[in-house]
Structure 1
């Protein structure tokens, strides 16, 4: 077990390309506002045009779409696993066995110091996570090619477009809480894309509820840790990228508001608790993956 840990630590934390990584605006891939603008504009334009072009064209059949979906899901599942493990090891690699040191490393996932530099393993994985969100545009392409237009909601497109901006802001402002967000979201995506991969190859697992449960837990933890971060920023030593965290919070709140509006119209006869349960479930399924979990 120790050898496995040492091997993973070397390849995911201490490797020169990772350990010596520095995010430099204007030099690192995707590190300019212009790049983000072009990527997001291209995504929105391509989605709009393909959506209307595919109306008059036949959809790709399951024999073509399922293998493509399987490969796409497997790649994102394995990439998400690598990012989750890599970021976790980056947080733990310099921790001592002394509990206070471990606590300090965990706290770093919530509140980065004001003078933190955008370099090292944590920012390397933040960069990979940022670029992976562009790869997730493939979700939208598969929906359009399959002509499943009912799943191509405003929220789906809005989420995929804005999350790229959000990840760019993580890096540019050295935003606190990004290590937690990276590990939590990547872990959820391991389960989610793993489920989609198994469905695509013809095996529908019985643990689909686990996907939703993990997504709900991710939201609850994020809300709780955000309060901790705000307290430390206001009354403690301060946290890097505080206003970027505020942008992140507004973005998440907008997702919740959109779903509350949608569910309040379609489930008017349900109780308030039912509405919240359905809303949180769909935030996980549609806002993060935008694929229906049958």
Structure 2
């Protein structure tokens, strides 16, 4: 019990978490100029690295990176699990401390998770973990460079999606967007499993006999889509949800990527039935913002 209390303190009751406030003057990476500069630098660096590798290496054989892919997967799995635990404990604490304010409007816990009241400010526990999630998107984007170095393949769609992920998580904080708590919980839960699986296969342990990663992403995108319908319903019933403009952009993105995944999922199974054990493509993506990349059916690209 003492360990649990210590964990809860450091993940939801620490003064730096409770007093967090998203501010352009105090939060690193919180300005629009930083956001666009960082995205431009990420895309430029990826393209430049790809061109340099094509010049230096004529062959297309994979370049060994040693333990780097496994280390990145393990790091992302641990960070995702930490954000998940911190967000769920912080959300519980926020609900405990502010439930008395909801009695007049008859707001339930689930309604609060889907629809922030109008006027919500980006401060407090859950927004601290939203900020950590935003910063983790930069670490997640490093996977593009690992793929470029190993296979000399550059996917502009992947670069675009990574950029959208960073952009969307910034908007969550900037406009106190509704639904972000559930989105972070769902995404980090799936990411901790997916990256844990990638670490498992990267160190040479056996992979699943089915496309594990793409199935996880289909489940995640489907849950996000259902929750988006809930936000839309509450927006009209409750008289408005905070940050609805950013939510609309998020909904369009998730809907488009879900259609892409479903289309690719069907084609993958059709190809698998015709080609037997040949390599196919599997999609790997991320939340509220996601990334698609080509993988082996056995998820060897870890």
Aligned residues of 2:8 and 2:89 also touching (Cα < 8 A): yes
Query: Given the superposition, is the C-alpha separation of residues 244 and 22 from structure 1 closer, same or farther in structure 2, using an over 3 Å criterion?
Result: same
Q: Which runs of 4+ in 1 moved over 6 A?
A: 260-264
1:169 Cα offset (Å):
0.5
1:124 aligned to 128, 148, 164, which one? Answer: 128
The count of corresponding residues between Structure 1 and Structure 2 is 275
Query: Given the superposition, is the C-alpha separation of residues 84 and 236 from structure 1 closer, same or farther in structure 2, using an over 3 Å criterion?
Result: same
Aligned residues of 2:161 and 2:292 also touching (Cα < 8 A): no
CA distance in 2, matches of 1:201, 1:95: 41
Query: Given the superposition, is the C-alpha separation of residues 262 and 70 from structure 1 closer, same or farther in structure 2, using an over 3 Å criterion?
Result: closer
1:61-94: CA deviation from partner (whole Å, max 9, x where unpaired): 43xx130111111111100000011101111125
1:28-79: CA deviation from partner (whole Å, max 9, x where unpaired): 11111100110100011111111111112247743xx130111111111100
Greater shift in the superposed pair: 23-32 or 205-214? 205-214
Question: Can you give the 5+ residue segments of structure 1 that lack an aligned partner in the other structure?
Answer: 271-280
CA distance in 1, matches of 2:260, 2:234: 30
1:208 Cα offset (Å):
6.2
Aligned residues of 1:155 and 1:258 also touching (Cα < 8 A): no
Q: Which residue number in structure 1 is paired with residue 277 of structure 2? A: none
Task: Please show how residues 1-294 of structure 1 align to structure 2 within 5 Å.
Answer: 2-58=1-57, 61-62=63-64, 65-95=65-95, 104-149=108-153, 152-206=154-208, 209-256=211-258, 282=283, 284=285, 287-288=290-291, 290=293, 292=295, 293-294=299-300
Question: Can you give the 5+ residue segments of structure 2 that lack an aligned partner in the other structure?
Answer: 272-281
Compute the TM-score of the two structures, normalised by the length of structure 1: 0.83
Q: Secondary structure at the match of 1:137?
A: helix
Aligned residues of 1:185 and 1:218 also touching (Cα < 8 A): yes
1:115 Cα offset (Å):
1.8
Greater shift in the superposed pair: 22-31 or 33-42? 22-31
Compute the TM-score of the two structures, normalised by the length of structure 2: 0.81
1:211 Cα offset (Å):
3.7
Query: Given the superposition, is the C-alpha separation of residues 213 and 256 from structure 1 closer, same or farther in structure 2, using an over 3 Å criterion?
Result: closer
1:208-235: CA deviation from partner (whole Å, max 9, x where unpaired): 6554333222222211111111111112
Query: Greater helix percent: which structure?
Result: 1
